[in-house]
Structure 1
Amino acid sequence: MISIFILFACFILFYINKMTNTLCLQKEIPEERHPKVFHTINILVTILLISSYVEILFA
């Protein structure tokens, strides 16, 4: 169960990063702010994935 969820989480993080890159390019966010944007979004998505796993685990 955990290995499937980890694989699913990696897949989600990859595509979220891909969409974040597209967002940065479309909105013309300066290059020096890109790492901060990626860092913030990755932390928030990771928190979401962890809370989803805990909910599935205890449901």
Structure 2
Amino acid sequence: MAAMFILYFINRLTNTLCLVREIPEERQDKVFRFINVSILILLISSFVEISFTV
């Protein structure tokens, strides 16, 4: 549940970034994809680290 909240919040921040920096519509997909994949990797690696240390 917390991961979904984090992804939602990061996507809202990314949307604000795209609006403030006036990133063209064509590039916004790439920006969202890059940020979402990066956050997903961080969440999975944190989950694995916590799982193996406990």
Q: TM-score range by the shorter chain?
A: over 0.9
Q: Structure 2: which 5+ residue stretches go unaligned? A: none
Equivalent in the alignment of 1:43: 37
CA RMSD of aligned residues (A): 0.4
| Aligned residue type for 2:42 | L
1:1-59: per-residue Cα shift (whole Å, max 9, x none)? Answer: xxxxxx11000000000000000000010011111100000000000000000011011
Among candidates 4, 22, 42, match of residue 10 of structure 1: 4
Cα separation, 1, equivalents of 2:9 and 2:40: 13
Q: Structure 1: which 5+ residue stretches go unaligned? A: 1-6
TM-score, L = length of structure 1: 0.88
Length, aligned pairs only: 53
TM-score, L = length of structure 2: 0.96
